[in-house]
Amino acid sequence: MVKHIAFLLLCFSIACFNTVNAQTADDYINRGIAKNDLKDYRGAIQDYNKAIEINPKIAQVYYFRGLAKIYLGDENGGCLDFSKAGELGDKDIYDTIKRYCN
């Protein structure tokens, strides 16, 4: 009986730890934005990549990742991300595409 209780407590602890430490796509986007503001573009891209892994249908994250790529000199990668943002419904992205991708 004691072993069963100990096992249940361990399982509960693991479940609580995973819930508390779970990060959402928005968490990664916000952290990426903060890194972008600090000019840590590579770090920002890593966070945006994690956000995309969690939810690949957020247009905004492609916009932010595209900007970080542009700032690193990867015009092609940035423009591909801007295009993806447009595919996902970001109507304002076309002004950004005109600015950086022509």
* 26-43 average pLDDT score: 98
SS3 43: helix
Q: Which fold has domain 23-100?
A: 1.25.40
Q: What pLDDT digit, counting tens, does each position of 49-93 carry?
A: 999 999 999 999 999 999 999 999 999 999 999 999 999 999 999
SS3 88: coil
pTM to 2 decimals? 0.79
Given a contact cutoff of 8 angstroms between Cβ atoms, the answer to whether 44 and 52 are in contact is: no
